[in-house]
A and B are shown apart, each in its own frame.
Chain A
Amino acid sequence: MSKELIRLEHITKSFDGQMILDDLNLVIHENEFVTLLGPSGCGKTTTLRIIGGFETPDKGRVIFDGQDITALAPNKRQLNTVFQKYALFTHMDIAENIAFGLKIKNKSQAYINDKIKYALKLVNLDGFEHRMPDSLSGGQQQRVAIARAIVNEPKVLLLDEPLGALDLKLRQDMQYELIRLKNELGITFIYVTHDQEEALTMSDHIVVMNQGYIQQEGSPEDIYNEPENAFVADFIGDSNIITATMVRDELVNILGTDFECVDKGFGTNQPVDVVIRPEDVELVKRGEGTLPGVVSHIIFKGVHYEMEVQAGGFEWLVHSTRMNEVGSEVDIRVDPFNIQVMNKPESEDEQAIGVEE
């Protein structure tokens, strides 16, 4: 793994007596695309603002490239931010917006002109130099905001829900553009979003947050395939989260039926939560599977059918390319490695950060 660039140590922050971040520790490496993912109020934006210097933590330190920058003013930090809703300077044209940081640093006019040209090309806005921000669409304004930040050659680009205000199609295009930009620039991106799909598409590393705590970090594949708790499982994609009992290693009792699984070390007859992704639930002919059920609902989604199956007193969500008519009697079958077993939250603290059912 590449070199460590930013380290957050024991960051605690509260506003008006309400705890936003509680003893948060996070390491970000060079040249990573890191996404802070979570629902609103989870502390992800506050974390970003602490890195950017717009908030001071109550406790803890921010280490940047080996230096403690906790108390450093935002204008002294080697990073730049792309703000929610763009935050362009509406009294300046596009070229002046992009030149803002360079003029402050007293760069030569020739250098500034080159940089403006380069940045506008990079974000596909050639020839927009003398337009005013208000005459641009949301997507174009967002590109200007990105251009304005990257001409300063930051080591890290912070992005605070930059695509939140754009429509779906544009958002998807911009996702690919951001990945391309990151690869071309070769710098670290720290990206804040509540959109799990965005996070899965773009990130090298995802940090899932809820109620001021980091719930899980890892690659998109890790987070999706092996959620560590019910909150992560529920937040990242659709899932069936079911209360179950771990009978012994590699055998779990779900809704009164024993399923083979691959998890070990939970002890015997231990209450657990299991997560099964809807695409991992197979519907087979009665008698060929593990748990009998009846299809109660079906919706065509384009790529697949989304079905609800009543089985063992639980409503299973199933994604499949093969349809089963409503009312048809089926069996549920799940491959052992597709059953993800998780500890039940034990302490109150863990309860607080878990998902409410």
Chain B
Amino acid sequence: MITNKKTSALMASPYLAWALIFILVPLGMILFYGLTDDTGAFTFANVAAIMQAEHFKALILALELSVISTVVCFFLAYPLGMILAKNKMSSQGIITTLFILPMWMNFLLRTFAWMTLLENKGVINGILGALHLPPINIINTPSAIVLGMVYNFLPFMILPIYNSLAKIDENVINAARDLGANKFQTFMRVTLPLTVPGIISGVTMVFIPALTTFAISTMLGGSKILLIGNIIEQEFTLTYDWHLGSGLSIVLMIFIVINMVVDAISERKED
């Protein structure tokens, strides 16, 4: 046993080193920068700066858009997950490929493609014009950002939901029907509760990247719509105020930690 423990500790060491250098150290630096000023003295001002009108507005908008995107993703992903889980053998490969395939392409490239599609003189309005329909103005609006988020993060909602649906024994569903539940009651009382862990993972995996993104909002929201991710990015790359950028990051991290704690609790419940 002792040798086993030693061996496994030895084998884990590269990963521990990795975690230390690339996760814990940067995290410590963010905390250090976020809680100090230029002189290195402790201050809470960088975190409190979230209350400034401009920052607060960006945070609220980011929360709003990421919640909407998460909800939209959920309602798209759940029915699809059910279809995939039902056809375990036949069409599953094809459908999975269709959803995984876009992920092989670079994320920025895919979002860039949406820019071309959505532009005022872009592909979609071109088609609408050819059909003598009025053009739609969607680029540089919050809707375009939501569209970009949903498009990019949908697979992360589908996969965990599909997994938890596929795990349900068909006879558990049959048992509910056998005990008198109609299809709707069976769904509400058995299927949905049994997939809660999958839903929570999916929500986490969509909500966190949507909340923190700056690329999607920059490309599809133009320069007018700023999310909290854009503000933080600008603090680091334009104004070089690492203290403020880190302070705002800490605020964002609080939301992420809350989400992950909920996730962890539900997983423990499942076990």
Residues of chain A having any CB pair with chain B under 8 Å = 52-54, 73-75, 80-81, 83-85, 87-91, 100-101, 104-105, 148-149, 152
B-side contacts of A53, CB under 8 Å: 177-178
Which one of B171, B185, B194, B196 lies within 8 Å of A104 (CB-CB)?
B185
B-side contacts of A152, CB under 8 Å: 179-180
Assess whether A101 is in contact with B169, with CB atoms less than 8 Å apart: no
B-side contacts of A91, CB under 8 Å: 193-194, 196
Which residue on chain A has the smallest CB distance to residue B185?
Answer: A104
Which residue on chain B has the smallest CB distance to residue A79?
Answer: B178
Secondary structure type dominating chain A contacts: loop
A-side contacts of B193, CB under 8 Å: 91
Which residues 137-184 of B have a CB within 8 angstroms of A? 169, 171-172, 174-182
B-side contacts of A88, CB under 8 Å: 172, 175
Docked complex Cα distance between A90 and B193 (Å): 10
Assess whether A85 is in contact with B179, with CB atoms less than 8 Å apart: no
Q: In this assembly, does B190 line the interface, its C-beta being within 8 Å of a C-beta of chain A?
A: yes
Which residue on chain A has the smallest CB distance to residue B271?
Answer: A134
18 A-B pairs whose Cβ atoms sit less than 8 Å apart in the complex: A52-B174, A53-B177, A54-B178, A75-B178, A75-B179, A75-B180, A75-B181, A81-B175, A83-B174, A84-B171, A89-B176, A91-B193, A91-B194, A91-B196, A100-B189, A101-B180, A148-B175, A148-B179
B-side contacts of A73, CB under 8 Å: 177, 182
Docked complex Cα distance between A88 and B178 (Å): 12
B-side contacts of A104, CB under 8 Å: 179-181, 185
B-side contacts of A74, CB under 8 Å: 174, 177-178
Assess whether A90 is in contact with B194, with CB atoms less than 8 Å apart: yes
Q: How far is the CB of B80 from chain A (nearest CB, A)?
A: 23
B-side contacts of A87, CB under 8 Å: 169, 171-172, 174-175
Docked complex Cα distance between A88 and B179 (Å): 12
For B, the interface residue count at a CB cutoff of 8 angstroms equals 18
Which residue on chain B has the smallest CB distance to residue A148?
Answer: B179
Which residue on chain A has the smallest CB distance to residue B192?
Answer: A91
Inter-chain pairs besides A75-B181, A87-B174, 14 sampled, C-beta below 8 Å: A53-B178, A73-B182, A83-B175, A87-B171, A88-B172, A89-B172, A89-B176, A100-B176, A100-B179, A100-B181, A101-B179, A101-B181, A104-B179, A149-B178
Assess whether B171 is in contact with A83, with CB atoms less than 8 Å apart: yes
Which residue on chain A has the smallest CB distance to residue B195?
Answer: A91
B-side contacts of A89, CB under 8 Å: 172, 175-176, 190, 194
When A and B form their complex, which 3 residue pairs have the shortest distance between CB atoms, in order from nearest?
A101-B179, A87-B171, A83-B171
B-side contacts of A101, CB under 8 Å: 179-181
Which one of A81, A84, A85, A105 lies within 8 Å of B178 (CB-CB)?
A81
Which of B169, B180, B193 counts the most chain A CB atoms within 10 A? B180
Docked complex Cα distance between A100 and B169 (Å): 17
A-side contacts of B185, CB under 8 Å: 104
Q: How far is the CB of B270 from chain A (nearest CB, A)?
A: 9
Q: How far is the CB of B185 from chain A (nearest CB, A)?
A: 6
Assess whether B174 is in contact with A81, with CB atoms less than 8 Å apart: yes
Q: How far is the CB of B182 from chain A (nearest CB, A)?
A: 6
B-side contacts of A81, CB under 8 Å: 174-175, 178
